[in-house]
Structure 1
Amino acid sequence: MAKDSDSSSLVRLNIGGKKFCTTVDTLTQREPDSMLAAMFSGRHTVCRDPENGFIFVDRDGKHFRHILNWLRDGVVPTLKDCQYSDLLREAEYYQLLGLMDGISDVLNKRKKEEELDTELTRIDIIKCIQSERVRFRGVNLSGLDLSKLDLSFVDFSYACITNVFFSRANLQCAKFRDVDAEGAIFRSATLRECEFTGANLRRALLTGANLQSANLQDACLIDSSFCQADLRSAHLQNADLTNANLEGATLEGANLKGAKLSNTNLRGANLQRAYLRQVNLRDTHLEGAKLDGANLLGAIR
């Protein structure tokens, strides 16, 4: 164990097997409220490999070079749209709020400058939602920026909404049955009582979203992020939450019967009175989770 008190000292990092070398200044100055800044602020101790001095972080190192370059010069990298979802996930983990906002700005600018290969535009959507009944069943909306719109009660069933931005949108009671929403971003969106039955939400970001009483039965939620999301009384029967991140999420009274929770992060989650009967929790991360009153009859732990 050693403290990094010298702000100009070299730091050797092993991020999921990929090795990097940087300085404490780089890790602490641009994003002083980040997890990395906290680690190397001098207030904490960090564990080093006694043989080579590397500090190990259990994350995918594929995009960490972009993290370091952001911390060095404050420039968001030029990537394909699908790669930004992965980088955004890493920025969220390291609590790099500036990078998260920068990625959103780049994608919004790109959407305005380029002609989208979709059937409708944001302006078309705004015109449509002014009518009494709105349905986009089976429509290709991939890549659109629909953030902050009132899309409550809209029917998106069977639509392609891959990489769509729904951040802070009002989607209460909207229908997403069997949609392809891979990589979609629902950060801080209102999704109360929404139907996601059979939806593909692989790699989707639902951080801070309100999903109270939402129906996610049979949904594919692999590698999705629900950090700090409100999933009270949500229906997650048979949902695939493999590698999903629900750290700090509220799942009070949620039904997870038959859900797949392999390598699912439920650290600090509220699972009070949740239905976990006969669920396999052997490979689930439950450190600090609240399980008071949860139905764990027959659960594998």
Structure 2
Amino acid sequence: MRQHRVCVCVCVSPVTLCVCSCRDDDVLYISEEESCDDLQDDLRDPEKAQTHTDWLTLNVDWLTLNVGGRCFTTTRSTLVSKEPESMLAHMFREKDVWGNKRDPQGAYLIDRSPDYFEPILNYLRHGQLIINEGINPLGVLEEARFFGIEQLAEQLETLVKSSQPPDDHSPLTRKEFVRFLLATTTKSELRCQGLNFTGADLSRLDLRYINFKMANLRGANLTHANLSGANLERADLSMASLDGANLQGVKMLCTNAEGASLRSCNFEDPAGVKANLEGANLKGVDMEGSQMTGINLRVATLKNAKLKNCNLRGATLAGTDLENCDLSGCDLQEANLRGSNVKGAIFEEMLTPLHMSQSVR
């Protein structure tokens, strides 16, 4: 069954605009100084209808773009009018000024993603940003930037930012971490690398062998926690409290523990595994009364640290900065201090005297 043609005329002198629509075809006809009735009479005549079609073809400059293997048909004005300073506008403002390459069917070749180009073309057509489901807005944004469509790029930047989840850098609480610990077996390797525990209360918890590498533990409460065999390499322990903590065999290479309190800690592992604090920043730490037999503090910084009454037998302190350290009452028997900086260090009431073989300078 054929559908009736619907005709709507809008007269704007001296031009009469007549839109005639069918279900299977929409055609826009523009007639100068011609009434809608005259146009309808012409359309009933096959020869005159063909004349109108030819006139439209001549006055609307249609282009076909082959974008990444998919063809898009549009008008030159669509590519030029909306964003006149864009790359597309410069490419197609005048015919073949840029010498654009064409495929065998005459379509202009553009080596870009068709999926990301389609929303851009629709935006140039009607001015609205519409992205179909499954299309990444970030990809469309990159295309908009490539083609220099600045207004669209601004909209897409806002869309991309709003679609991304907010960065959650809030520290983990004791309750959250304990729940995590209880959900895992003691044999599981717990990886807390890079997590934020700033100011968290982790006191008296069993944290053996947990990987805290590069974690943020600034100001955390780790008093009497069991950190035996834990990996704290490059972690931030500045201003943290580890008083009475078990640090047997702990790995603290290049850890930042400036201003931390490590009073009465146990670094001595009966199994012979030595705690490794090589290169750690221990400026101003309080390690009074700690057991550190065989500890590796090579090239660590202990400037202004309090090491009173510490057991440092057999410790490696080669190249360590001990400037202004208080080492009163320490046991440094067989400790290696070669190349260490002991300027202003206090060595009062030593349990065993230092020997020249230990190369103190």
What TM-score bracket applies, with the shorter chain setting the length?
A: 0.5 to 0.7
- The answer to whether 1:273 aligns with 2:334 is yes
8 Å CA contact 2:334, 2:358 repeated in 1? no
1:128 partner SS: helix
What's the % identity of the aligned pairs?
29
Pairwise CA distance, 1:290: 2.9
Once residues 178 and 295 of structure 1 are traced to their aligned partners in structure 2, the CA distance between those partners, rounded to angstroms, is: 34
Once residues 135 and 229 of structure 1 are traced to their aligned partners in structure 2, the CA distance between those partners, rounded to angstroms, is: 27
Pairwise CA distance, 1:126: 1.5
Q: 1:134 aligns with which of 190, 194, 203?
A: 190
Once the two structures are superposed, residues 159-204 of structure 1 have per-residue CA deviations (whole angstroms, 9 ceiling, x without a partner) of: 1100000000111000100011100100000001001100000000
Pairwise CA distance, 1:250: 0.7
- The answer to whether 1:227 aligns with 2:284 is no
- The answer to whether 1:252 aligns with 2:304 is no
Amino acid at match of 1:164: A
Pairwise CA distance, 1:278: 3.0
Mean CA deviation greater in 122-131 or 177-186: 122-131
Once residues 184 and 267 of structure 1 are traced to their aligned partners in structure 2, the CA distance between those partners, rounded to angstroms, is: 24
Q: 1:151 aligns with which of 197, 203, 207?
A: 207
**Are the structure 2 counterparts of residues 139 and 295 from structure 1 closer, same or farther at C-alpha, using a change threshold of 3 Å?**
farther
TM-score by length of 1: 0.59
Pairwise CA distance, 1:222: 0.3
Correspondence 1:121-270 to 2 at 5 A: 121-130=173-182, 131=184, 132-212=188-268, 213-270=274-331
> Which of the pair has the greater relative contact order for Cα pairs under 8 Å at 6+ separation?
1
1:126 partner SS: helix
Once the two structures are superposed, residues 53-91 of structure 1 have per-residue CA deviations (whole angstroms, 9 ceiling, x without a partner) of: xxxxxxxxxxxxxxxxxxxxxxxxxxxxxxxxxxxxxxx
Greater gyration radius: 2
The count of residues paired between Structure 1 and Structure 2 equals 184
Question: Structure 1: where are the runs of 5+ without partners?
Answer: 1-116
8 Å CA contact 2:198, 2:218 repeated in 1? yes
Mean CA deviation greater in 135-144 or 279-288: 279-288
Pairwise CA distance, 1:127: 2.4
Once the two structures are superposed, residues 90-137 of structure 1 have per-residue CA deviations (whole angstroms, 9 ceiling, x without a partner) of: xxxxxxxxxxxxxxxxxxxxxxxxxxx734221221222231221110
8 Å CA contact 2:217, 2:237 repeated in 1? yes
**How well do the aligned residues superpose, as a CA RMSD in angstroms?**
1.6
8 Å CA contact 2:207, 2:228 repeated in 1? yes
Once residues 298 and 276 of structure 1 are traced to their aligned partners in structure 2, the CA distance between those partners, rounded to angstroms, is: 6
Pairwise CA distance, 1:224: 0.4
8 Å CA contact 2:320, 2:339 repeated in 1? no
Once residues 194 and 294 of structure 1 are traced to their aligned partners in structure 2, the CA distance between those partners, rounded to angstroms, is: 29
8 Å CA contact 2:171, 2:200 repeated in 1? no
**Are the structure 2 counterparts of residues 296 and 201 from structure 1 closer, same or farther at C-alpha, using a change threshold of 3 Å?**
farther
Question: Structure 2: where are the runs of 5+ without partners?
Answer: 1-168, 269-273
8 Å CA contact 1:233, 1:252 repeated in 2? yes
**Residue of structure 2 in register with 1:288 after alignment:** 349
8 Å CA contact 2:171, 2:198 repeated in 1? no
**Are the structure 2 counterparts of residues 280 and 128 from structure 1 closer, same or farther at C-alpha, using a change threshold of 3 Å?**
same
1:123 partner SS: helix
8 Å CA contact 2:324, 2:342 repeated in 1? no
Once residues 294 and 134 of structure 1 are traced to their aligned partners in structure 2, the CA distance between those partners, rounded to angstroms, is: 44
Pairwise CA distance, 1:293: 7.1
**Are the structure 2 counterparts of residues 296 and 151 from structure 1 closer, same or farther at C-alpha, using a change threshold of 3 Å?**
same
Once residues 268 and 239 of structure 1 are traced to their aligned partners in structure 2, the CA distance between those partners, rounded to angstroms, is: 21
2:176 partner SS: helix
Pairwise CA distance, 1:281: 2.4
TM-score by length of 2: 0.49
